[in-house]
Amino acid sequence: MTFTEDCPSGRSQDLTYVSSDMVTLHRKTFEEIYGLIGNCVDAITDLQRCEIFITSTERCLMEMGNLGVANSVQLSKIILLLESWLNVVPKSQEEMDRWLQQANATTYLVWAKTKSGKCNG
């Protein structure tokens, strides 16, 4: 098609035509999916720090045991701190699982609507 052929006022239809390969999302739907995935990325970053801390603390405890260092007060504090961090990781993983399931459900709903031809997301 030339620039003016079948185009009102010489305007290209490519600017307004939505191809069948394209899915249009409502901003709210896009922001919901983007926010859920963003939350997961943030949680993964936090979990990496947790894993580093947990691994370092476990290594420190093993070294203390191997060296025969037995300051029971410090050892108790380290163990309590380690236990609290070990509780953080599964909770974060559960949150991430919930967020990803919700993002997947929203994406699947949009996909199903577009496949049926009823509407775009």
| Within-domain flag for 110 | no
Each residue's pLDDT tens digit, 46-96: 777 777 777 777 777 777 766 665 566 677 777 777 777 777 777 888 888
| Within-domain flag for 1 | no
Domain assignment of residue 31, given as a range = 26-105
Each residue's pLDDT tens digit, 4-29: 455 555 555 555 555 666 777 788 98
Each residue's pLDDT tens digit, 76-88: 777 777 777 777 7
| Within-domain flag for 20 | no
| Within-domain flag for 15 | no
Query: 36 burial class (0-12, 13-18, 19+ CB within 10 angstroms)?
Result: buried
pLDDT at 1: 45
Separation of alpha carbons 41 and 68, rounded Å: 41
